[in-house]
C-alpha cells in the first residue's frame, strides 16, 4: 500500500461543513456494540493472519477519534488497520489508538492510496454525512482489490421507533434539518446527517456501486433510552427494523 504525505492530500470540503466537523464538540465516535459487531463480520470474512496468510490491510475511512478501530483491532488480531480522516482534530485523537493515521478525503482527487491496495475498508457511519455518496463508494471501490471487503454501517431511517414517530408527525431520529440546532425530533445534539437509508435502499445503493452484498445485519443504537434498549437489541434480529444497518459487501 502506498500513501502520500499530508501536503498531497485533497482539498477540504465546503467551509461550513469543514468548520462543523473540526469543532471538537461534534461527536466523532459511535457505540462500541456496533463497532464490535462490524469487526466480527470482517474477522469472519478475512480469517486469521498467520503462516501462509499475510496480514490484511484494512482502511478505516472516516476513523474519527479511532475508538471504533481500537475495538476492531482486538477482533482483527494480526491484521493492519490504517486510520483515514480529513479532520485534523479527529486524527490527533486517533493516534492514541492507531499506529498509523493518514489525512485524506473521498472527493476532489480521492484517497492517497494506490488502486487495489486495500484488502478491506471499514466505513462506519460516514455515508450519511456525505454530499456525494456515489462518488465516495466509487473511490472505496478503487482502493479495494478485486474481491476486497467493504464493511459499511449507517443509521436506519426505518428503525422501529422512527416508524412510530413518523405516524405521530415527529421528525425521525438521525434526521436533521439544520447544522445549528435540532428541530422537530427527539434529542439535542446535531451530528450533521445529510443522507439516510432504509435497508432496501442501502442494499440497492451498494449493489449499484459495483459491490455484491454478502450480508446485512442490524445493530443497536447507544442513544436509545435505557428502558427501551432490550427492545432495540431484539429489533436487531430483523435488520429492516434495527437502529443501525451493517452491510458486508465485496468488490466485484
At residue 53, the pLDDT reads: 86
Q: What's the whole-model pTM score?
A: 0.88
Number of residues that make up the chain: 252
The phi-psi region of residue 184 (left if phi > 0; otherwise alpha if psi is between -120 and 50; otherwise beta) is left
Tell me: the pLDDT tens digits for 72-98?
999 998 999 999 998 888 899 999 999
CA 125 from centre of chain: 3
At residue 25, the pLDDT reads: 59
Kind of pairing between the strands at 244-251 and 144-155: antiparallel
At residue 173, the pLDDT reads: 96
At residue 24, the pLDDT reads: 58
Hey, is 143 helix, strand or coil?
A: helix
Spatial neighbors of 99 by CB under 8 A, at least 6 apart, are: none
Residues of the chain with pLDDT under 50: 1-12
Tell me: the pLDDT tens digits for 137-153?
999 999 999 999 999 99
At residue 2, the pLDDT reads: 36
At residue 212, the pLDDT reads: 98
Cβ atoms of 191 and 177 within 8 Å: the answer is: no
Amino acid at each position: 500500500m502506498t500513501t502520500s504525505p499530508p501536503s498531497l492530500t485533497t482539498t477540504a470540503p465546503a467551509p461550513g461543513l469543514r468548520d462543523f466537523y473540526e469543532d471538537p464538540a461534534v461527536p466523532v465516535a459511535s457505540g462500541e456494540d456496533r463497532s464490535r459487531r462490524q469487526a466480527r463480520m470482517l474477522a469472519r470474512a478475512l480469517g486469521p493472519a498467520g503462516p501462509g496468510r499475510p496480514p490484511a490491510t484494512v482502511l478505516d475511512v472516516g476513523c474519527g477519534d479511532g475508538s471504533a478501530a481500537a475495538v476492531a483491532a482486538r477482533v482483527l488480531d494480526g491484521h493492519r488497520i490504517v486510520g483515514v480522516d480529513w479532520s485534523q482534530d479527529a486524527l490527533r485523537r486517533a493516534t492514541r489508538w492507531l499506529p498509523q493515521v493518514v489525512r485524506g478525503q473521498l472527493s476532489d482527487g480521492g484517497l492517497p492510496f494506490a488502486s487495489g491496495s486495500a484488502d478491506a475498508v471499514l466505513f462506519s457511519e460516514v455515508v450519511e454525512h456525505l454530499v456525494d455518496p456515489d462518488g465516495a463508494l466509487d473511490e472505496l471501490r478503487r482502493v479495494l482489490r478485486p474481491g476486497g471487503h467493504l464493511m459499511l454501517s449507517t443509521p436506519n431511517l426505518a428503525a422501529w421507533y422512527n416508524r412510530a414517530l413518523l405516524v405521530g408527525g415527529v421528525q425521525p431520529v438521525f434526521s436533521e434539518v439544520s447544522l445549528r440546532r435540532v428541530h422537530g425530533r427527539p434529542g439535542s445534539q446535531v451530528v450533521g446527517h445529510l443522507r439516510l437509508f432504509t435497508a432496501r435502499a442501502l442494499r440497492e445503493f451498494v449493489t449499484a456501486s459495483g459491490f455484491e452484498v454478502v450480508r446485512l445485519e442490524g445493530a443497536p443504537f447507544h442513544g436509545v433510552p435505557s428502558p427501551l434498549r432490550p427492545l432495540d437489541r431484539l429489533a436487531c434480529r430483523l435488520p429492516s427494523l434495527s437502529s443501525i444497518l451493517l452491510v458486508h459487501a465485496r468488490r466485484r
